[in-house]
Amino acid sequence: MKIAAIVFILLWVQVTFAQAYTGKGDVKFQIGANFQDNGTGIMGSVDFGVGENISLGLASTYLLGIDKIRNKSGEEEPFADFKDRFDFRARFNANLGNVINVDEYLDVYPGLYASLKNFGGHLGLRYFFTNGFGVFTEINIPISKYNTNMLTQAEKLHNQVSVSFGASFNIY
């Protein structure tokens, strides 16, 4: 019984120190799956806390599973080259977890990004189970595409609404 009580207290102490966003100096790393029309892939991001409710970060997405088309000789091949599958973003987040104050382990972060393909906005949600591990989900919406001409099917990748989800880690 004594051991069970000690284990319970240690777990409780660990959970009480878990926070979604702590402010300046906070560093979060996320890795997960990205879903959009005609492609699925992996995404990673890192966010650096620069203020009580502000973080700056970098994010990248690479599409692995994309639809295939038939070339002129009838063979199936991917319709997108590396430059169409890859996107890199600089981003700004407004971390509103402590403003909304639903749960100290929950962070809601709307933000803006500038990428290799477009300028857009995102809305994310992180929930931490422990001080170091949590889950996240994000929706990305392009606001302005750099290529204003009619986009090819390959150029539409990363220039559309996409959803990502995966694991979030507290680095610092």
What was the pLDDT predicted at 20?
64
What was the pLDDT predicted at 19?
55
pLDDT at 14 over 50: no
Instruction: Tell me the average pLDDT across 74-94.
Output: 88
Residue 150 is classified by DSSP as: P
Residue 81 CB-half CA count within 13 A:
2
Which range marks the domain in which residue 156 is found? 2-170
Instruction: Tell me the average pLDDT across 9-23.
Output: 48
More confident residue, 116 or 74: 116
What was the pLDDT predicted at 68?
74
**Using one digit for the tens of pLDDT, what is the confidence trace for 87-108?**
999 999 999 988 888 888 999 9
What was the pLDDT predicted at 3?
54
Number of domains the chain contains: 1
83 touches 62 (CB < 8 A): no
Mean pLDDT score of the chain = 85
Q: State the CATH number of the domain containing residue 130.
A: 2.40.160.20
What pTM was estimated for this model as a whole? 0.79
Torsion of CA 110, 115, 119, 124, to 10 degrees: -20
**Which range (9-23, 28-42, 50-64, 137-151) has the least confidence?**
9-23
- The percent of residues above 90 in pLDDT, for the chain, comes to 55
